Amino acid sequence: MFIEEIGLKVITGPMFSEKSGELIHSINMAETYEGKKVILFKPNIATRDGKNIIVSRTGLSRRAEELPEFITDEVIENVLENCEQYDVVGIDETQFFKGKIVELVQRLIFTKRVVVSGLNMDYEGKPFGKMGDIIAMADEVQHMYPVCSKCKKRRAIFSQRLSNGKPVTKKGQTIYEGDKESYEPRCRVCFKPPFD
């Protein structure tokens, strides 16, 4: 467990690696066993779980405050004020944040314990949003590995984008109405990156 009074832990990995579950677990542990005051945030565009809640794929859930996708100086000031009474701050789906998300995290980690979760790479196999910068600032990084959906024997680090069950071969390829878009975790051998 990451039990530093202040500092940053990042939980990262591909889709279906139970990052949100690990985040909720660490927040629950801090609250239950250390008596910490905890608060969770998520971007308001992460709508899969519903409003003001984070739900992990294996069933853990917890209330979360929503933040705009684009982090401005004003949002940073609001979050800092909001967090004053809390010891531990969690942020989910961090790859979606734009603007000054790195600055926000940097401002928090000298006075709070911060646990951030987010996707490592996008479907092209490139660093997702500002996750790389955030990982660089971390005291601890926990990489989550689901098993590869294709070979079922190696650990997955990529999120493969699929259209009707087949890998998307072109960048930004449109998925037409009626076609089924999906994602699955894949290992480096089985992952098919889209070309330009």
What is the rounded distance in angstroms from the CA atom of residue 57 to the CA atom of residue 24? 12
Binding flag, residue 190, Zn ion (CB under 5 A) = yes
Beta strands in the chain (DSSP E): 7-13, 38-43, 53-55, 61-63, 65-67, 70-71, 88-91, 98-99, 113-119, 140-143, 158-163, 166-167, 181-186
Q: Interface with Zn ion includes 154 (CB under 5 A)?
A: yes
Of 85-93, 95-103, 109-117, 179-187, the window that binds Zn ion (rule: CB under 5 A) is: 179-187
Q: Which stretch binds Zn ion (CB under 5 A): 93-101, 106-114, 116-124, 145-153?
A: 145-153
Is-catalytic flag, 93?
yes
CB of 191 to Zn ion, least distance (A): 8
Catalytic residue among 77, 93, 103, 181: 93
Give the C-alpha separation, 127 to 62, whole Å.
27
- By CB under 5 A, tell whether 151 contacts Zn ion: yes
187 binds Zn ion (CB under 5 A): yes
Give the residue numbers marked as catalytic.
Answer: 93
Residues at the binding site for substrate are 175-178, 183
Q: Which residues contact Zn ion by CB under 5 A?
A: 148, 150-151, 154, 187, 190
